[in-house]
Amino acid sequence: MNTRMTELFGCRYPIQCGGMLWIAKPSLAAAISNAGALGNLTSGNYNSADELREAIDETRQLTDAPFIVNITTMPSIRLPVELLQDFFRVCCEKKICALEIAGAPVDRFLGPEFLPMAKEAGVKVLHKVGTVKHAVHAQKVGYDAITIAGFEEGGFPHKDNVSTLVLLPRVVSEVDIPVLAAGGMADGRGLAAALTLGADGIMMATRFLATRESEVHPNIHKVLMEKKENDTSLNLQSLLSAFGLQVRALSNTIMKKVEEVENAGGDLTDLLPLISGERAKAVWKEGNADEAMLTIGQSVGLIDDIPTVEALIQRMIAEAKGALNRAHGMLSQNDDSWEKEISA
Ligand SMILES: Cc1cc2nc3c(=O)[nH]c(=O)nc-3n(C[C@H](O)[C@H](O)[C@H](O)COP(=O)(O)O)c2cc1C
Protein backbone atom coordinates (compact mmCIF):
# COMPACT_ATOMS: atom_id res chain seq x y z
CA MET A 1 0.00 0.00 0.00
CA ASN A 2 1.78 3.11 -1.21
CA THR A 3 0.41 6.46 -0.18
CA ARG A 4 1.88 9.91 0.34
CA MET A 5 2.21 8.92 4.02
CA THR A 6 4.36 5.84 3.33
CA GLU A 7 6.49 7.95 0.96
CA LEU A 8 6.89 10.80 3.47
CA PHE A 9 7.86 8.63 6.45
CA GLY A 10 9.37 5.63 4.66
CA CYS A 11 7.12 3.08 6.40
CA ARG A 12 5.59 0.05 4.64
CA TYR A 13 1.95 0.56 5.68
CA PRO A 14 -0.11 3.76 6.08
CA ILE A 15 -0.73 3.23 9.80
CA GLN A 16 0.76 5.32 12.62
CA CYS A 17 0.62 4.81 16.37
CA GLY A 18 -0.49 7.95 18.21
CA GLY A 19 1.29 9.39 21.24
CA MET A 20 0.48 7.52 24.45
CA LEU A 21 1.82 8.75 27.75
CA TRP A 22 3.40 5.91 29.82
CA ILE A 23 2.61 3.40 27.02
CA ALA A 24 4.40 4.47 23.81
CA LYS A 25 7.92 3.48 24.89
CA PRO A 26 10.84 1.93 22.95
CA SER A 27 9.67 -1.69 22.96
CA LEU A 28 6.14 -0.95 21.67
CA ALA A 29 7.41 1.68 19.22
CA ALA A 30 9.92 -0.79 17.79
CA ALA A 31 7.38 -3.63 17.58
CA ILE A 32 5.05 -1.38 15.56
CA SER A 33 7.81 -0.12 13.27
CA ASN A 34 9.15 -3.65 12.78
CA ALA A 35 5.64 -4.67 11.70
CA GLY A 36 5.74 -2.04 8.92
CA ALA A 37 3.65 0.69 10.57
CA LEU A 38 5.02 3.85 12.22
CA GLY A 39 5.79 3.34 15.93
CA ASN A 40 5.55 6.21 18.40
CA LEU A 41 7.98 7.22 21.13
CA THR A 42 6.19 9.66 23.43
CA SER A 43 8.54 12.28 24.85
CA GLY A 44 6.25 12.94 27.84
CA ASN A 45 7.46 9.63 29.32
CA TYR A 46 10.78 11.30 30.06
CA ASN A 47 11.92 13.97 32.52
CA SER A 48 14.97 15.32 30.71
CA ALA A 49 16.55 15.70 27.28
CA ASP A 50 19.11 13.02 28.21
CA GLU A 51 16.38 10.52 29.08
CA LEU A 52 14.73 11.12 25.67
CA ARG A 53 18.12 10.76 23.94
CA GLU A 54 18.60 7.37 25.63
CA ALA A 55 15.08 6.27 24.68
CA ILE A 56 15.72 7.16 21.01
CA ASP A 57 18.97 5.15 21.11
CA GLU A 58 17.17 2.23 22.77
CA THR A 59 14.43 2.27 20.09
CA ARG A 60 17.06 2.36 17.35
CA GLN A 61 18.70 -0.72 18.87
CA LEU A 62 15.36 -2.53 18.56
CA THR A 63 14.45 -1.44 15.02
CA ASP A 64 16.03 -0.10 11.84
CA ALA A 65 12.61 1.06 10.64
CA PRO A 66 11.42 4.67 11.03
CA PHE A 67 9.42 5.81 14.08
CA ILE A 68 7.85 9.11 15.16
CA VAL A 69 8.37 11.03 18.41
CA ASN A 70 5.33 12.71 20.03
CA ILE A 71 5.69 16.09 21.73
CA THR A 72 2.48 17.20 23.42
CA THR A 73 2.48 20.99 23.38
CA MET A 74 0.12 21.74 26.24
CA PRO A 75 0.71 23.64 29.47
CA SER A 76 2.11 21.20 32.05
CA ILE A 77 3.82 21.54 35.41
CA ARG A 78 5.98 18.44 34.88
CA LEU A 79 6.84 19.27 31.27
CA PRO A 80 7.50 23.05 31.05
CA VAL A 81 7.97 24.75 27.67
CA GLU A 82 11.78 24.84 28.08
CA LEU A 83 11.87 21.04 28.41
CA LEU A 84 9.62 20.60 25.35
CA GLN A 85 11.99 22.88 23.43
CA ASP A 86 14.89 20.64 24.53
CA PHE A 87 12.95 17.55 23.39
CA PHE A 88 12.47 19.16 19.97
CA ARG A 89 16.22 19.99 19.74
CA VAL A 90 17.16 16.41 20.71
CA CYS A 91 14.92 15.03 17.92
CA CYS A 92 16.64 17.33 15.40
CA GLU A 93 20.11 16.45 16.74
CA LYS A 94 19.24 12.73 16.50
CA LYS A 95 17.72 13.26 13.03
CA ILE A 96 14.70 11.13 13.84
CA CYS A 97 12.30 10.40 10.99
CA ALA A 98 9.42 12.54 12.20
CA LEU A 99 7.83 14.49 15.03
CA GLU A 100 4.15 14.37 16.00
CA ILE A 101 3.10 17.64 17.58
CA ALA A 102 -0.15 17.46 19.56
CA GLY A 103 -1.64 20.60 21.04
CA ALA A 104 -0.69 24.20 20.29
CA PRO A 105 1.25 24.81 17.04
CA VAL A 106 5.04 24.71 17.34
CA ASP A 107 5.51 28.19 15.87
CA ARG A 108 3.39 29.72 18.65
CA PHE A 109 4.07 27.41 21.61
CA LEU A 110 7.79 26.67 21.22
CA GLY A 111 8.86 29.56 18.98
CA PRO A 112 9.19 30.51 15.29
CA GLU A 113 12.70 29.02 14.97
CA PHE A 114 11.61 25.41 15.63
CA LEU A 115 9.91 24.39 12.35
CA PRO A 116 12.87 25.73 10.28
CA MET A 117 15.18 23.81 12.68
CA ALA A 118 13.36 20.56 11.82
CA LYS A 119 13.46 21.32 8.08
CA GLU A 120 17.21 21.93 8.33
CA ALA A 121 17.70 18.58 10.14
CA GLY A 122 15.48 16.69 7.65
CA VAL A 123 12.94 15.83 10.38
CA LYS A 124 9.34 15.72 9.11
CA VAL A 125 6.81 17.43 11.35
CA LEU A 126 3.21 16.32 11.60
CA HIS A 127 0.56 18.25 13.52
CA LYS A 128 -2.39 16.50 15.14
CA VAL A 129 -5.37 18.86 15.07
CA GLY A 130 -9.11 18.72 15.78
CA THR A 131 -10.46 21.45 13.49
CA VAL A 132 -10.25 22.49 9.82
CA LYS A 133 -8.97 25.92 10.87
CA HIS A 134 -6.00 24.43 12.72
CA ALA A 135 -5.20 22.13 9.76
CA VAL A 136 -5.09 25.11 7.43
CA HIS A 137 -2.81 26.98 9.87
CA ALA A 138 -0.48 23.96 10.08
CA GLN A 139 -0.07 23.84 6.31
CA LYS A 140 0.47 27.61 6.15
CA VAL A 141 3.31 27.64 8.70
CA GLY A 142 5.15 24.73 7.10
CA TYR A 143 4.17 21.42 8.69
CA ASP A 144 4.74 18.38 6.43
CA ALA A 145 1.55 16.48 7.29
CA ILE A 146 -1.61 16.65 9.36
CA THR A 147 -3.52 14.21 11.51
CA ILE A 148 -7.16 15.17 11.81
CA ALA A 149 -8.71 13.71 14.95
CA GLY A 150 -12.46 13.61 15.44
CA PHE A 151 -14.08 13.69 18.86
CA GLU A 152 -14.27 9.87 18.94
CA GLU A 153 -10.58 9.87 19.80
CA GLY A 154 -9.16 9.00 23.20
CA GLY A 155 -7.17 11.75 24.92
CA PHE A 156 -7.84 15.40 24.22
CA PRO A 157 -10.41 15.92 21.44
CA HIS A 158 -11.40 19.42 20.37
CA LYS A 159 -14.44 20.84 22.16
CA ASP A 160 -16.33 21.27 18.82
CA ASN A 161 -17.47 17.62 19.01
CA VAL A 162 -17.21 16.92 15.27
CA SER A 163 -16.66 13.33 14.11
CA THR A 164 -13.79 12.05 11.97
CA LEU A 165 -16.28 11.11 9.23
CA VAL A 166 -17.04 14.80 8.70
CA LEU A 167 -13.67 16.36 9.57
CA LEU A 168 -11.57 14.15 7.30
CA PRO A 169 -13.13 15.05 3.92
CA ARG A 170 -13.38 18.69 5.05
CA VAL A 171 -9.64 18.83 5.78
CA VAL A 172 -8.72 16.89 2.64
CA SER A 173 -10.56 19.55 0.63
CA GLU A 174 -8.72 22.40 2.37
CA VAL A 175 -5.06 21.31 2.40
CA ASP A 176 -2.59 19.80 -0.07
CA ILE A 177 -0.18 18.09 2.33
CA PRO A 178 -0.71 14.44 3.43
CA VAL A 179 -3.57 13.88 5.90
CA LEU A 180 -3.95 11.04 8.40
CA ALA A 181 -7.31 10.21 9.98
CA ALA A 182 -7.63 9.51 13.72
CA GLY A 183 -10.49 8.69 16.05
CA GLY A 184 -12.52 5.53 15.62
CA MET A 185 -9.73 3.71 13.77
CA ALA A 186 -9.10 0.16 14.97
CA ASP A 187 -9.34 -2.22 12.02
CA GLY A 188 -8.82 -2.55 8.27
CA ARG A 189 -12.35 -1.41 7.47
CA GLY A 190 -11.56 1.92 9.12
CA LEU A 191 -8.31 2.13 7.16
CA ALA A 192 -10.16 1.46 3.87
CA ALA A 193 -12.84 4.01 4.76
CA ALA A 194 -10.24 6.67 5.60
CA LEU A 195 -8.34 6.07 2.34
CA THR A 196 -11.63 6.25 0.44
CA LEU A 197 -12.44 9.58 2.09
CA GLY A 198 -9.13 10.97 0.83
CA ALA A 199 -6.75 10.25 3.71
CA ASP A 200 -3.14 9.18 3.09
CA GLY A 201 -3.18 6.95 6.16
CA ILE A 202 -4.53 6.54 9.67
CA MET A 203 -3.37 7.01 13.22
CA MET A 204 -4.69 4.94 16.12
CA ALA A 205 -3.78 4.51 19.77
CA THR A 206 -6.34 2.54 21.82
CA ARG A 207 -5.97 -0.38 19.36
CA PHE A 208 -2.20 -0.47 19.97
CA LEU A 209 -2.80 -0.34 23.73
CA ALA A 210 -4.69 -3.61 23.21
CA THR A 211 -1.72 -5.57 21.85
CA ARG A 212 0.57 -8.07 23.54
CA GLU A 213 3.53 -5.71 23.30
CA SER A 214 1.91 -2.85 25.27
CA GLU A 215 3.27 -3.17 28.77
CA VAL A 216 0.06 -2.93 30.80
CA HIS A 217 -1.44 -5.17 33.47
CA PRO A 218 -3.51 -8.12 32.06
CA ASN A 219 -6.64 -6.63 33.73
CA ILE A 220 -6.30 -3.58 31.47
CA HIS A 221 -6.25 -5.80 28.40
CA LYS A 222 -9.36 -7.58 29.74
CA VAL A 223 -11.15 -4.26 30.26
CA LEU A 224 -10.28 -3.17 26.70
CA MET A 225 -11.84 -6.36 25.31
CA GLU A 226 -15.00 -5.99 27.44
CA LYS A 227 -15.77 -2.29 27.06
CA LYS A 228 -17.93 -1.05 24.21
CA GLU A 229 -18.23 2.17 22.19
CA ASN A 230 -20.56 3.78 24.77
CA ASP A 231 -18.21 3.14 27.70
CA THR A 232 -16.19 6.35 27.32
CA SER A 233 -17.22 9.92 28.09
CA LEU A 234 -16.15 13.50 27.50
CA ASN A 235 -14.86 15.23 30.62
CA LEU A 236 -13.09 18.26 32.07
CA GLN A 237 -14.80 20.85 29.87
CA SER A 238 -14.69 23.34 32.76
CA LEU A 239 -10.93 22.94 33.09
CA LEU A 240 -9.89 22.78 29.45
CA SER A 241 -12.36 25.00 27.60
CA ALA A 242 -9.79 27.83 27.58
CA PHE A 243 -7.63 25.65 25.30
CA GLY A 244 -10.61 24.46 23.21
CA LEU A 245 -10.08 20.94 24.54
CA GLN A 246 -11.72 18.27 26.67
CA VAL A 247 -10.79 14.73 27.70
CA ARG A 248 -12.27 11.48 26.39
CA ALA A 249 -11.70 8.78 28.98
CA LEU A 250 -13.10 5.45 30.10
CA SER A 251 -16.29 5.96 32.15
CA ASN A 252 -15.31 4.73 35.63
CA THR A 253 -15.47 5.53 39.34
CA ILE A 254 -12.80 8.23 39.14
CA MET A 255 -14.53 10.02 36.26
CA LYS A 256 -17.81 10.02 38.26
CA LYS A 257 -15.91 11.70 41.11
CA VAL A 258 -14.40 14.19 38.65
CA GLU A 259 -17.90 15.06 37.42
CA GLU A 260 -19.12 15.56 41.00
CA VAL A 261 -16.18 17.86 41.79
CA GLU A 262 -16.75 19.85 38.58
CA ASN A 263 -20.49 20.17 39.26
CA ALA A 264 -19.70 21.44 42.77
CA GLY A 265 -17.51 24.18 41.23
CA GLY A 266 -14.19 22.54 42.13
CA ASP A 267 -10.99 23.85 40.55
CA LEU A 268 -7.67 22.40 39.44
CA THR A 269 -6.48 21.93 43.03
CA ASP A 270 -9.50 19.73 43.74
CA LEU A 271 -9.27 17.85 40.44
CA LEU A 272 -5.53 17.24 40.19
CA PRO A 273 -5.37 14.39 42.73
CA LEU A 274 -8.03 12.56 40.69
CA ILE A 275 -6.71 13.17 37.17
CA SER A 276 -2.95 13.19 37.68
CA GLY A 277 -0.75 11.34 35.19
CA GLU A 278 0.99 9.58 38.08
CA ARG A 279 -2.32 7.93 39.05
CA ALA A 280 -2.76 6.64 35.46
CA LYS A 281 0.84 5.43 35.40
CA ALA A 282 0.16 3.27 38.49
CA VAL A 283 -3.11 1.91 37.07
CA TRP A 284 -1.58 0.79 33.76
CA LYS A 285 0.88 -1.28 35.85
CA GLU A 286 -1.40 -2.45 38.66
CA GLY A 287 -4.60 -3.05 36.70
CA ASN A 288 -7.47 -1.47 38.67
CA ALA A 289 -9.15 0.40 35.81
CA ASP A 290 -11.47 2.28 38.21
CA GLU A 291 -8.64 4.12 39.92
CA ALA A 292 -7.52 6.69 37.30
CA MET A 293 -8.49 8.81 34.31
CA LEU A 294 -7.74 6.45 31.41
CA THR A 295 -7.75 8.17 28.03
CA ILE A 296 -9.50 5.59 25.85
CA GLY A 297 -11.24 6.23 22.51
CA GLN A 298 -14.67 5.10 21.30
CA SER A 299 -12.69 2.71 19.11
CA VAL A 300 -12.57 0.45 22.20
CA GLY A 301 -15.94 -0.88 20.94
CA LEU A 302 -14.13 -2.42 17.97
CA ILE A 303 -11.62 -4.33 20.11
CA ASP A 304 -12.18 -7.91 21.20
CA ASP A 305 -8.76 -9.50 21.23
CA ILE A 306 -5.13 -8.86 22.22
CA PRO A 307 -3.05 -9.85 19.18
CA THR A 308 0.64 -9.27 18.62
CA VAL A 309 1.35 -6.03 16.78
CA GLU A 310 2.55 -8.01 13.75
CA ALA A 311 -0.70 -10.07 13.61
CA LEU A 312 -2.79 -6.90 14.04
CA ILE A 313 -1.09 -5.05 11.19
CA GLN A 314 -1.26 -8.04 8.82
CA ARG A 315 -4.94 -8.56 9.61
CA MET A 316 -5.70 -4.86 9.11
CA ILE A 317 -4.00 -4.77 5.72
CA ALA A 318 -5.91 -7.90 4.59
CA GLU A 319 -9.21 -6.41 5.87
CA ALA A 320 -8.53 -3.08 4.17
CA LYS A 321 -7.77 -4.81 0.87
CA GLY A 322 -10.98 -6.85 1.26
CA ALA A 323 -13.05 -3.73 1.96
CA LEU A 324 -11.54 -1.83 -0.97
CA ASN A 325 -12.10 -4.80 -3.31
CA ARG A 326 -15.68 -5.10 -2.11
CA ALA A 327 -16.31 -1.42 -2.86
CA HIS A 328 -14.60 -1.74 -6.22
CA GLY A 329 -16.77 -4.75 -7.05
CA MET A 330 -19.88 -2.59 -6.60
CA LEU A 331 -18.96 -0.62 -9.71
CA SER A 332 -20.11 -1.99 -13.05
CA GLN A 333 -17.02 -2.77 -15.17
CA ASN A 334 -15.29 0.09 -16.92
CA ASP A 335 -17.68 2.61 -15.40
CA ASP A 336 -15.98 5.96 -15.83
CA SER A 337 -19.18 8.02 -15.95
CA TRP A 338 -18.38 9.42 -12.47
CA GLU A 339 -15.54 11.54 -13.86
CA LYS A 340 -17.88 13.37 -16.24
CA GLU A 341 -20.57 13.65 -13.55
CA ILE A 342 -18.18 15.17 -10.97
CA SER A 343 -16.65 17.65 -13.41
CA ALA A 344 -20.17 18.66 -14.56
C1 LIG B 1 -3.43 5.49 26.67
C2 LIG B 1 -3.42 6.72 25.82
C3 LIG B 1 -2.55 7.76 26.12
C4 LIG B 1 -2.52 8.89 25.31
N5 LIG B 1 -1.58 9.88 25.57
C6 LIG B 1 -1.43 10.88 24.67
C7 LIG B 1 -0.35 11.81 24.79
O8 LIG B 1 0.47 11.74 25.70
N9 LIG B 1 -0.24 12.78 23.86
C10 LIG B 1 -1.12 12.87 22.81
O11 LIG B 1 -0.94 13.74 21.96
N12 LIG B 1 -2.16 12.02 22.69
C13 LIG B 1 -2.32 11.03 23.56
N14 LIG B 1 -3.33 10.12 23.39
C15 LIG B 1 -4.25 10.28 22.23
C16 LIG B 1 -3.78 9.47 21.02
O17 LIG B 1 -2.51 9.87 20.59
C18 LIG B 1 -4.75 9.58 19.84
O19 LIG B 1 -4.94 10.93 19.45
C20 LIG B 1 -6.12 8.99 20.12
O21 LIG B 1 -6.07 8.04 21.14
C22 LIG B 1 -6.73 8.37 18.87
O23 LIG B 1 -7.93 7.76 19.12
P24 LIG B 1 -8.03 6.14 19.35
O25 LIG B 1 -7.41 5.87 20.66
O26 LIG B 1 -9.49 5.86 19.38
O27 LIG B 1 -7.31 5.48 18.24
C28 LIG B 1 -3.39 8.99 24.19
C29 LIG B 1 -4.27 7.94 23.92
C30 LIG B 1 -4.28 6.81 24.70
C31 LIG B 1 -5.21 5.68 24.33
Q: pLDDT per residue over 266-322, tens digit each? A: 988 999 999 999 999 999 999 999 999 999 999 999 999 999 999 999 999 999 999
Question: 63 C-alpha vs ligand 1 centroid, how far in Å?
Answer: 22
Q: Nearest C-alpha to atom 22 of ligand 1 is from which residue?
A: 153
Q: Nearest C-alpha to atom 2 of ligand 1 is from which residue?
A: 20
Q: Going by C-beta distance under 8 Å and a sequence separation of 6 or more, which residues neighbour residue 130?
A: 148, 149, 150, 151, 157, 158, 160, 162, 167, 244, 245
Q: How many CB atoms lie within 10 A of CB 54?
A: 13
| pLDDT at site 112 | 96
Which sequence spans correspond to the domains of the chain?
Answer: 4-215, 219-298
Q: Considering Cα of 115, then 61, then 208, then 312, what sign does the dihedral take? A: positive
Q: Nearest C-alpha to atom 10 of ligand 1 is from which residue?
A: 19
Question: 204 C-alpha vs ligand 1 centroid, how far in Å?
Answer: 8
Mean pLDDT in order along the chain per 10 residues (344 residues): 97 98 98 98 98 98 98 93 98 98 95 98 98 98 98 97 98 98 98 98 98 98 98 92 92 96 91 94 97 98 98 98 94 78 78
Nearest-atom index, ligand 1, CA of 147: 19
Question: 321 C-alpha vs ligand 1 centroid, how far in Å?
Answer: 26
| pLDDT at site 240 | 85
Q: Nearest C-alpha to atom 15 of ligand 1 is from which residue?
A: 155
Q: Going by C-beta distance under 8 Å and a sequence separation of 6 or more, which residues neighbour residue 168?
A: 148, 150, 179, 181, 194, 197, 198, 199
Q: Nearest C-alpha to atom 12 of ligand 1 is from which residue?
A: 19
Pocket of ligand 1 (CB under 6 A): 18-21, 23, 42, 44, 70, 72, 102, 149, 153-155, 182-183, 185, 204-207, 209, 295-297, 299
- Cross-strand pairs, 332: none
Nearest-atom index, ligand 1, CA of 40: 17
Q: Nearest C-alpha to atom 21 of ligand 1 is from which residue?
A: 154
| pLDDT at site 268 | 87
Give the 3-state secondary structure percentages of the chain, helix then strand then coil, rounded to 5.
50, 15, 35
For the segment(s) 4-215, the CATH number from 3.20.20.70, 3.40.630.30, 3.40.640.10, 3.40.50.970 is: 3.20.20.70
Question: 18 C-alpha vs ligand 1 centroid, how far in Å?
Answer: 6
Strands in 153-196 per DSSP E: 179-182
Question: 336 C-alpha vs ligand 1 centroid, how far in Å?
Answer: 40
Say if residues 294 and 281 touch (Cβ distance below 8 Å). Answer: no
Burial 83-109 (b: 16+ CB within 10 A, else e): bbbbbbebbbeeebbbbbbbbbbbbeb
